[in-house]
Amino acid sequence: MQDPCRAREVLGIVGDKWALLVVRTLKDGPRRFTELKRAIDGISQRMLTVTLRDLERDGILTRTVHNVMPPHVSYELTEMGRTLREATAPLLEWSTTHLAHIDAARAAYDTRRPPRDHSRGTPLS
Amino acid sequence: MQDPCRAREVLGIVGDKWALLVVRTLKDGPRRFTELKRAIDGISQRMLTVTLRDLERDGILTRTVHNVMPPHVSYELTEMGRTLREATAPLLEWSTTHLAHIDAARAAYDTRRPPRDHSRGTPLS
DNA sequence: CGGTATCCTCAGTGATACTG
DNA sequence: CAGTATCACTGAGGATACCG
* pLDDT of A39 strictly over 50: yes
Q: Output the pLDDT for position A98.
A: 93
* pLDDT of B122 strictly over 50: no
* pLDDT of B2 strictly over 90: no
d(CA B113, CA A80): 21
Q: Output the pLDDT for position A29.
A: 97
Residue lying closest to nucleotide C5, CA to C1' = B46
Q: Output the pLDDT for position B24.
A: 94
d(CA B27, CA B111): 40
Q: Output the pLDDT for position B70.
A: 86
Q: Output the pLDDT for position B51.
A: 97
The alpha carbon of residue B69 is apart from the nearest alpha carbon of chain A, in Å, by 26
The alpha carbon of residue B59 is apart from the nearest alpha carbon of chain A, in Å, by 5
d(CA B95, CA B99): 6
A24 vs B contacts (CB less than 8 Å): 1, 7
B86 vs A contacts (CB less than 8 Å): 90
Q: Output the pLDDT for position B9.
A: 78
Residue lying closest to nucleotide C20, CA to C1' = A71
B5/A99 Cβ within 8 A? no
Task: Tell which wins on pLDDT, B114 or B61.
Answer: B61
CA–CA distances in Å: residue B58 to residues A98, A106, A118, B17: 10, 5, 11, 16
- Using the structure, give the distance in angstroms from the CA atom of A27 to the C1' atom of D16, rounded to a whole number: 47
Report pTM: 0.87
The alpha carbon of residue A55 is apart from the nearest alpha carbon of chain B, in Å, by 10
- The string over A113-124, giving b where at least 16 C-beta atoms fall within 10 Å of a residue's C-beta and e elsewhere, is eeeeebeebeee
Q: Output the pLDDT for position A4.
A: 55
Nucleotides of strand D lying closer than 7 angstroms to a protein CB: 1-6, 11-17, 20
B74-120 pLDDT, tens per residue?
Answer: 999 999 999 999 999 999 899 889 999 999 999 999 998 766 655 55
A40-94 pLDDT, tens per residue?
Answer: 999 999 999 999 999 999 999 999 999 887 889 999 999 999 999 999 999 989 9
- Using the structure, give the distance in angstroms from the CA atom of B45 to the C1' atom of D18, rounded to a whole number: 14
Q: What sign has the CA pseudo-torsion A43, A24, A104, B22?
A: negative
Closest CB to B16 among A15, A87, A106: A15
Phi and psi (nearest 5°) for A75? -115, 140
Contacts of A99 (CB under 8 A, 6+ apart): B6, B9, B10
d(CA A97, CA A77): 26
CA–CA distances in Å: residue B54 to residues A71, B67, B105: 46, 23, 35
Task: Tell which wins on pLDDT, A29 or A113.
Answer: A29
Among A103-117, B67-81, B110-124, the minimum mean pLDDT is found in: B110-124
* pLDDT of B25 strictly over 70: yes
**Cα atoms in the 13 Å half-sphere on the side-chain side of A17:** 9
Give the CATH architecture of domain A4-114. Answer: Orthogonal Bundle (1.10)
- Where exactly are the structural domains of chain A? 4-114
pLDDT more than 70, % of chain A: 86
- Using the structure, give the distance in angstroms from the CA atom of B68 to the C1' atom of C4, rounded to a whole number: 21
* pLDDT of A125 strictly over 70: no
